């Protein structure tokens, strides 16, 4: 049975995985609208990287707290 912290980490990894799946990227794969002067798909990729980094930092903090 998984502990609550392990479930949290799996949910975080699942969200990160969903950000890069082809159905999601196909929805955002367009040039217009421009966001901050760049095409929307490029913005989505940069946004996904930032969100993934933040979520992985959260997952790391959950796992490191469990080890104490």
The number of CA neighbours under 13 Å toward the Cβ of 61 is 6
At 65, the pLDDT band (50, 70, 90 cuts) reads confident
Q: Are 43 and 36 in contact (CB under 8 A)?
A: yes
- Identify the pLDDT of residue 68: 64
Domain ranges for the chain, please list them: 4-67
Model confidence, pTM:
0.79
Q: 55 versus 1: which is more confidently predicted?
A: 55
Length in residues, the chain: 68
pLDDT of amino acid 24: 87
Round the average pLDDT of the chain to a whole number and report it. 89
Mean pLDDT value across residues 56-60: 92
């Amino acid at each position: 049975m998984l502990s609550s912290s392990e479930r949290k980490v799996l949910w975080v990894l699942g969200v990160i995985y969903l950000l890069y799946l082809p159905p999601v990227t196909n929805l955002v794969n367009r040039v217009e609208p421009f966001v901050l002067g760049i095409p929307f798909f490029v913005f989505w990729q940069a946004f996904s990287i930032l969100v993934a980094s933040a979520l992985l930092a959260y997952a790391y903090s959950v796992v490191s707290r469990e080890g104490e």
